[in-house]
Amino acid sequence: MEDKQNVLDKAPLSKGLLIVPSTLSLLLALLFQHYQKFFTYNLQAVKEEFQIWRLVCGRAVCLDLKDTFCSSLLIYNFRIFERRYGSRKFSSFLLGSWMLSVLFDLLLVEAVEYSFGVSINSLPSGL
């Protein structure tokens, strides 16, 4: 008799990224709306007030349920890469991608502000 494999077996990082941020997003959207201001991805607060924690919180939790659903689908599909490359290599890839995306966010906001004079205070939060 063949043993069926669970779809999230051997993908602990994907499972954690699927459960924890999705749960936080649902709680923030449904029960704790007054705490959403702490999870906004506000680059002006990062630059001026050195609130570095906003880089992590703004990228980890979606503030909109549509974004939560879409990011959950992406994470669910990324479990294939985690199984193929291993959790350590997959997590280092995610960390590198996150650091590059934060750097590009900061550079693009500065470039838009310098070129067009438009001030961008916050960006969409979430994965």
Contact 109, 42 (CB under 8 A): no
What is the reported pLDDT for 92?
A: 94
What is the reported pLDDT for 2?
A: 46
What is the reported pLDDT for 5?
A: 60
State the Cα angle at 100 between 43 and 122, rounded to 5°. Answer: 20
Q: Can you give the length of the chain in residues? A: 127
> Concatenated DSSP letters for the chain?
-PPPPPTTTT-HHHHHHHHHHHHHHHHHHHT-GGGGGGG-EEHHHHHHH--THHHHHHHH--SSHHHHHHHHHHHHHHHHHHHHH-HHHHHHHHHHHHHHHHHHHHHHHHHHHHHH-----EE----
pTM of the model: 0.75
Amino acid residing at 85: Y
What is the reported pLDDT for 41?
A: 81
**Torsion angle in degrees (nearest 10) through CA of 35, 40, 44, 46:** 80
Mean pLDDT by 10 residues, the chain (127 residues): 58 88 86 83 81 81 86 89 91 91 87 88 78
What is the reported pLDDT for 8?
A: 58
| Residue 126 region by backbone torsions, left for phi larger than 0, else alpha for psi between -120 and 50, else beta | left
